[in-house]
Amino acid sequence: MELETGAPAAGGGCVARAPDGRVVFVRHALPGERVVAEVTAETASFLRADAVAVLSASPDRVAPPCRHAGPGRCGGCDWQHVALPAQRRLKEQLVAEQLRRVAGDTRSVVVEPAPGETDGMGWRTRVRFSVDRSGRIGLRRHRSHEVEPVASCPVASDDVNGVDAGRHRWRGARTVEVAALPARSGGGPSGAVVTVTTARGRPMDVPRLDAGCVVDGRTVQEPGGMDTEVLGHRYRVSGGVFWQAHRGAPAVLASAVLDGLEPMAGERTVDLYAGAGLFTLMLADAVGASGSVLAVERNARACEDLTVSARGFPQVSVLRAAVDADLVASRIGSPDLVVLDPAREGAGRPVMASLRDLRPSPRRVAFVSCDAATFARDLRVLTDAGWTMPSLRAFDLFPMTEHVELVGVLVPPVTT
């Protein structure tokens, strides 16, 4: 069908109206275009479609730099067809709309580029590939289990692509993650690690690689992890442990959190969803030996990495536990400062309610999120109780996709 496309929508597409009045979410389009759309999914209330021909193009449309991009192809990038400045404007609209609609917050949003970002390519320091039945690696097609064979990903760094995982067959594997972190800010790589999950624990022959290899949590070829430096702090990150993907993200986010919290010597701090401890070490340095940092993380390997990285910081305690409402209510004490950095699904209303009910309230909370919708949902729990968000920063740490990283600073209501 021919459609006129309107505002951007969550999911990487644009909103349009079908002749019968139903909403259509159109991928591979831009606002204000006229396109020929092919329906890919249908419900009683809306359709999903791909723009397979452009009859009237937006001035922000560009030729996709990746040969795997396009209708029915790789689902890893939403906006390869969009000029980079326009991508940021679209993200600003999407974040502002979620804040207004879900949290009742009407502020405007500015999406900041990562330092040194020029063309939106080559930024990923880790890529998780799927594996097809023949053992080839690739990325899943949009809303599909089908694998688009991708031997070399153009949004991945040269160090990730240099592992050349695509020239091997990975029979028996389900996913293959290739990671290569910079040894220090602006420096070369610290080496690479390939992390494999197998299909139902089946044995597999691991290819010979110029990289470490971890299979189902077991190191089969050293190194099993990497060392990286952020703002003067050294971190250990094992294969498969979460670390920010954009090469500039750790320094940008750590700086934003510290600037927002303004930690002081002697303060008690809690780092929830701490991962490998990016914020933990920064906070420990800021509060000093007279302060304390409790880092809470459920992943055992991440806790091990954090414990190694925190040697020399006796004020750091590591608690291996899932973050839930009971933990926040009964096991973190009365912190002066809290950092929340949950996964895409967010912290959830029960966790936010427990945080809201802490007495005394934390002086400030830094909320780091990669999903505007769950961020707005969780934010509403605090703002409905009188909390305010004096600072919100948005960073374009996922070029070529609809995703954006948010850092909000929240303060409790003044009590008399």
Q: Give the number of other Cβ atoms within 10 Å of residue 386's Cβ.
A: 12
Is 303 annotated in the active site? no
What's the pLDDT at 329? 98
Signed CA dihedral, 76, 81, 86, 89: sign only: negative
- In terms of domains, do 42 and 134 share one? no
- 191 falls in which pLDDT band (50, 70, 90)? confident
CATH of the domain at 395: 3.40.50.150
- Decide if pLDDT at 63 tops 80: yes
Count helices and strands (H / E) in the chain.
8, 23
What's the pLDDT at 116? 85
H helices of 269-371, where?
Answer: 278-287, 300-309, 325-330, 349-356
Residue 288 contacts residue 315 (beta carbons within 8 Å)? yes
| pLDDT tens-digit map of 259-278 | 999 999 999 999 999 999 99
What's the pLDDT at 188? 62
- Decide if pLDDT at 380 tops 60: yes
- In terms of domains, do 403 and 254 share one? yes
Q: Collapse the DSSP code of 316 into the 3-class scheme (helix H, G, I; strand E, B; otherwise coil) and give the result.
A: strand
Share of the chain above pLDDT 70, in %: 98
Bridge partners of 176, per DSSP, are: 129, 196
What's the pLDDT at 187? 61
| pLDDT tens-digit map of 280-289 | 999 999 999 9
- Decide if pLDDT at 416 tops 70: no
What's the pLDDT at 186? 57
- How far apart CA 84 and CA 87 sit, in angstroms, is 5
Q: Collapse the DSSP code of 258 into the 3-class scheme (helix H, G, I; strand E, B; otherwise coil) and give the result.
A: helix
- In terms of domains, do 352 and 219 share one? no
Domain with 6, as residue range(s), is 2-61
In a domain? residue 95 = no
Residue 146 contacts residue 136 (beta carbons within 8 Å)? no
- In terms of domains, do 270 and 397 share one? yes
In a domain? residue 106 = no
Write down the mean pLDDT value for the chain.
95
| pLDDT tens-digit map of 68-123 | 999 999 999 999 999 999 999 999 999 999 999 999 999 999 999 998 899 999 99
Crossing angle of helices 278-287 and 249-261, rounded to 10°: 40
- How far apart CA 326 and CA 218 sit, in angstroms, is 32
Contacting residues for 218 by C-beta, under 8 A, at least 6 apart:
none
Q: Which one-letter amino acid corresponds to residue 244?
A: Q
Task: Give the least confident one: 221-230, 318-327, 386-395.
Answer: 221-230
- 189 falls in which pLDDT band (50, 70, 90)? low
- Decide if pLDDT at 203 tops 80: no
- In terms of domains, do 340 and 369 share one? yes
Q: Give the number of other Cβ atoms within 10 Å of residue 370's Cβ.
A: 21
- How far apart CA 334 and CA 338 sit, in angstroms, is 10
Residue of 363, 392, 402 lying closest to 256 (CA atoms): 392
Q: What is the arithmetic mean of pLDDT over 346-374?
A: 98
DSSP string, 135-162: S-EEEEBTTSS-EEE-SS-TTB-HHHHH
- In terms of domains, do 283 and 355 share one? yes
Q: What angle do CA 381, 275, 246 make, to 5 degrees?
A: 95
- In terms of domains, do 225 and 352 share one? no
Which one of 10, 45, 61 terminates a domain?
Answer: 61
- In terms of domains, do 268 and 205 share one? no
Residue of 272, 269, 273 lying closest to 261 (CA atoms): 269
DSSP state of 399: T
How many domains, in total, are found in the chain?
3
Which one of 44, 61, 78 terminates a domain?
Answer: 61
- In terms of domains, do 263 and 407 share one? yes
In a domain? residue 210 = yes
H helices of 49-157, where?
Answer: 84-98
Residue 407 contacts residue 260 (beta carbons within 8 Å)? yes
In a domain? residue 185 = yes
Residue of 74, 24, 86 lying closest to 51 (CA atoms): 24
What's the pLDDT at 185? 60
Residue 162 contacts residue 180 (beta carbons within 8 Å)? yes
What's the pLDDT at 204? 83
- From the candidates 14, 74, 77, 370, give the one annotated as an active-site residue: 370
Which one of 182, 197, 229 terminates a domain?
Answer: 229
Q: What is the arithmetic mean of pLDDT over 6-25?
A: 95
In a domain? residue 270 = yes
- In terms of domains, do 264 and 369 share one? yes
Cα 395 from chain centre: 11
Beta strands (DSSP E) in 73-136 are 111-113, 126-131
What's the pLDDT at 182? 87
What's the pLDDT at 206? 87
- In terms of domains, do 22 and 164 share one? no
H helices of 331-404, where?
Answer: 349-356, 372-383
What's the pLDDT at 200? 78
What's the pLDDT at 20? 92
| pLDDT tens-digit map of 294-341 | 999 999 999 999 999 999 999 999 999 999 999 999 999 999 999 999
Residue 394 contacts residue 405 (beta carbons within 8 Å)? yes
In a domain? residue 110 = no
